[in-house]
Structure 1
Amino acid sequence: MKDKVCMVTGANSGIGFAAAKGLAERGAAVVMVCRNRERGEEARQEIVRQTGNERIELLLCDLSSLRSVRDLSEAFRARWDRLDVLVNNAGGLFDRPQTSADGFELTFAVNYLAPFLLTHLLLDRLQASDNGRIVNVASVMQAKTLDLDAAIVPQAPYSGFSAYRTAKLAVIMATYFMAGRLADSGIAVNALHPGVIYTPQSTRGVPGFLRPLAKLFMSPPERGARLILQLAASPEAGASSGKYYAGSRAVSTVPVSYDSRLQRELYERSLQWTGLPEDAIVLD
C-alpha cells in the first residue's frame, strides 16, 4: 500500500482510528477526516508516532453539513489528484430527534447523506486509481422497510436505533446500486458490518456503570478494522463489488435491500437531497 492514497472518515477514534493506523502501517498515505481539529491532530500525531509513517494528513469536516462535505472534497482535490481507497466510516447514533444544518433527520444526514455526497464528489479521483475502492461501514442493524419520505425527517415517537437502522439500510442499498452503475469503471464498492465493537459511540445507550462490563463482551476497535483493511488492501477484494461483508465473508442483507426499484428511487432522491446532478456518475 505504500504508493496508495487513502481517506478514512471519523479517523480520530474507535474503528476509524484503527483503520487509519492499519493503512499507515502498510505504508499508505492516509487522509484522516475528523470533526474536531484538536482531537484529530492528536490522533494524527499518535499514528505517526506508532507507525513511523509521516504521510498522514488531517482534514476537517462536519458530516452533518453538506456544505462542509463539499469543502472537504475541495480541500482534498486541491492536494491530491488520485484516491485509491475511500473508507466511509464516520457515523452517529443520537438519543433525541434532531435535524441537520440542511434540515434532514440528523442520523440519516450523518450516516447516509454525507458519505453519499462525498463519494460522488470524489469519483473522478477514485477512477484515477488503477483500482479505486469504496468501503462503506454499514451494520447488521438494518431496517426491514424503507419509507423515503419518513427517512429524512424525525419521526414521533423518536427512536435513535430505528433511525440508525434506516440509515444503514440506505447505505447498503446505495452500495448495491452504485456497484451496478460503476461496473465498468474499475472502482469497487462494498459494504461491511465491522462486528460488535466497543467504542464510545456503540455504548451511548449503555448506562455508565455497565460500560466496563460491556467492554468484556465486545471486541476492540482493532478487530473491527480488520475487515475494513481486508476490503481496502487485499487483491481479492479489489475484484469484488456490490457485496456486503460480515465476519470476513460476503453475506446476505434484509430482503428489501435487494429491491431494485427502491434502490433506484433512493438513489435518485439522494441526488436531489444532496444537490447532485442527475448524471452524477459519468466517468470517462
Structure 2
Amino acid sequence: MSSSDPTQHTALITGANSGLGKAIAMDLARRGMTLVMVCRSLSRGEQARWEIRAETGNEDIYLITGDLTEQADVRRVAAQFKRDFKALHLLINNAGSAFPERRLTGDGVEKALAINHVAPFLLTQLLLPRLQSSAPARIINVGTRFNTAMDLDDLNWEKRRYRMMQAYGQSKLGMLHTTFALARQLEGTGVTVNCVFPGVFMSNLGGTDGAQNAFWRAVARWLGWAIPPAERAAQGVIHHATAPESAALNGQYLSRKGPIKAPAQARDPAMNQRVVQATEALIAPP
C-alpha cells in the first residue's frame, strides 16, 4: 500500500470465497490487513473465512454476503460496510462471471454486464467517500484482455445473438472504460484506480456448467501450454494493490509486468464518458 503500517489498512474484496479472489484474500490476510470479504453464499463465504483465518492467523477477517448482480444487494453491502468500518484503504472489485445464455437480473440488466461492470461501478461510487477520507487508498478492478468494443445501442443483447465470451469481454471492457474515466476524476485526491489483467488462469467462471473451463481447456490444447492456477495469477493483482512502487499509478491497464495496451475504444476519453453515462442509466434509483 503506502509507507505506513500495512496492518492498519482495511481492504474489501468481492468474490473472495474461491479462485482468484480467495488467493488474493489469503495474501492480504497474511500481510495483517483487516479484510472484508464480499461473497454471494453465506456457507461458502464462512468456509473461506475460516480457512483464511486458520492458515494466516489473522482474526480480522469479516464477511458481508450479497448477490452483486442485484443493485439492491450492492447498496446493502456498501451500507453494511460503511456502518461497520470507519476506513477503507483498498477496494478490489474481483467478482465476475459468464453465462452460457442471455439472462436478465431483477433490475433488467443482462447478467454478465451486471456482475462484471455495473456492480463494481456502483459499489465503487458508494464507497468512494470512505476511500477518499482514508487516503492514500487504491481501487483495483480485476479485468481481462479482449480486443473488442462495446455496443452501447445493445448493452442487454436484445438485438444480437448472445455469445457468452463476447458478452463477458464487453462487460469487462465496460469496467476498463469507467476505470479510465474515474482515474481522471480522482487525480490529486490520494485515491488511485487501475485495472489489472491477472492473465489466463483456471477458474470457476461460468459456474457449475463448466463452460468457461471447457473454453480455456480448448485454448490450452490449441496453444500447447498449461493453464496456471489462481494463486499464481493473483500475484499481479496483489503486487499492484500493495507494492509501494505502484502507489503513484492511476488510470492504468496493467499486467504483472506493467502497463498493457487497452483496446482502441477504451483509449477514447469521450467514449469513456459515454460508457459512464450509459452505465448510470442502467442503475435504478435507491
TM-score between both structures, scaled by the size of structure 2: 0.91
Displacement of 1:248 after TM fit?
A: 2.6
Aligned mates of 2:109, 2:66 — CA distance in 1? 17
**CA offset digits 1:23-77 (Å, max 9, x no partner):** 0000001000000000000000000000000000000010110000000001101
Residue 81 of structure 1: aligned partner: 86
Which of the residues 5, 12, 16 maps onto 2:21? 16
Q: Residue 226 in 1 paired to residue 231 in 2? A: no
Percent identity between matched residues is: 34
- Letter of the structure 1 residue corresponding to residue 88 of structure 2: L
Tell me if structure 1 keeps the 8 A contact 2:203–2:213. no
Q: Residue 42 in 1 paired to residue 51 in 2? A: no
Q: Where do residues 62-211 of structure 1 align in structure 2 (5 Å cutoff)?
A: 62-143=67-148, 145-201=149-205, 204-207=211-214
Displacement of 1:157 after TM fit?
A: 1.7
Tell me if structure 2 keeps the 8 A contact 1:99–1:154. no
Question: Which shifted more, 86-95 or 196-205?
Answer: 196-205
Displacement of 1:142 after TM fit?
A: 4.1
Residue 269 of structure 1: aligned partner: 278
Aligned mates of 1:275, 1:102 — CA distance in 2? 7
Tell me if structure 2 keeps the 8 A contact 1:104–1:153. no
Residue 3 of structure 2: aligned partner: none
Residue 262 of structure 2: aligned partner: 253
Aligned mates of 1:112, 1:36 — CA distance in 2? 20
Runs of 4+ aligned residues of structure 1 deviating over 4 Å after TM superposition are: none
Aligned mates of 1:247, 1:227 — CA distance in 2? 4
- Letter of the structure 2 residue corresponding to residue 63 of structure 1: L
Partner-residue secondary structure (3-state), 1:217:
coil
Which of the residues 237, 247, 252 maps onto 1:238? 247
Displacement of 1:275 after TM fit?
A: 4.1
Tell me the C-alpha RMSD between the 2 structures.
2.0
Count residues in correspondence. Answer: 274
- Letter of the structure 1 residue corresponding to residue 255 of structure 2: A
Displacement of 1:101 after TM fit?
A: 1.2
CA 1:40–1:31: 2 relative to 1, 3 Å: same
Partner-residue secondary structure (3-state), 1:46:
helix
Partner-residue secondary structure (3-state), 1:133:
strand
Which consecutive residues of structure 2, in runs of 5 or more, have no partner in the other structure?
1-5
Which consecutive residues of structure 1, in runs of 5 or more, have no partner in the other structure?
278-284
Partner-residue secondary structure (3-state), 1:148:
coil
Tell me if structure 1 keeps the 8 A contact 2:17–2:39. yes
CA 1:80–1:105: 2 relative to 1, 3 Å: same
Tell me if structure 1 keeps the 8 A contact 2:204–2:213. no
Displacement of 1:180 after TM fit?
A: 0.2
- Letter of the structure 1 residue corresponding to residue 131 of structure 2: L
Displacement of 1:85 after TM fit?
A: 0.3
Residue 280 of structure 1: aligned partner: none
Aligned mates of 1:139, 1:36 — CA distance in 2? 24
Residue 32 of structure 2: aligned partner: 27
Tell me if structure 1 keeps the 8 A contact 2:138–2:193. yes
- Letter of the structure 1 residue corresponding to residue 201 of structure 2: I
Q: Residue 57 in 1 paired to residue 62 in 2? A: yes
Partner-residue secondary structure (3-state), 2:69:
coil
CA 1:247–1:229: 2 relative to 1, 3 Å: closer
Displacement of 1:207 after TM fit?
A: 4.3
Tell me if structure 2 keeps the 8 A contact 1:81–1:128. no
Residue 282 of structure 1: aligned partner: none
Aligned mates of 2:159, 2:103 — CA distance in 1? 10
